[in-house]
Amino acid sequence: MKFSIRNGEKKDAEAILSLIKELALFEKLPNEVEITVDDLIKDGFSIQPKFKTFVAQESNGTVIGMALFYERYSTWKGKSIHLEDLMVTENKRGTGAGKALYTAVLKYAYDTNCKRVAWDVLDWNTNAINFYERTGAKILEDWRVVHMNEQGLKNFINENI
């Protein structure tokens, strides 16, 4: 299979959203995606983007995968990257596109002098866990991911401010 990895562009927003929705379905949370194509364009392809993307594109122009990430700062390490999503459409998995996207993110981190790349993986996603471990990534078993959703934020602020 022939594909190339390139920076995501505004024209890719619809394909990126489709991949995000496919990932949500894979993660058994299909109703959690609230963003729109317009949100992705505004937040990712404006003068001050909140995230960056790489896409895997077939020679016919079809986007088959994406990696979405953003810079953050570690008080222990310094400049770092959070890999939010890495996704290849189901019928294109096993083609090497996922590894190529992953490599592009890690190379970007290396080239921009980041000290760490971090991401989350579901404990039942053994294929991903095994892949990450084979590449030298360390799965931190003793840390828990913490989220506060929009309603939780609203409740907290209303009760404490």
Cα–Cα distance, 34 to 32 (Å, whole number) = 6
Could you give the residue ranges of the DSSP H alpha helices within 2-161? 13-26, 37-44, 97-111, 126-134, 150-160
Answer yes or no: 132 catalytic: yes
Cα–Cα distance, 135 to 111 (Å, whole number) = 18
Best CA proximity match to 72, nearest among 116, 136, 121, 7: 116
CB 155 within 8 A of CB 119: no
The SS3 of residue 52 is: strand
Could you give the residue numbers annotated as active site? 132
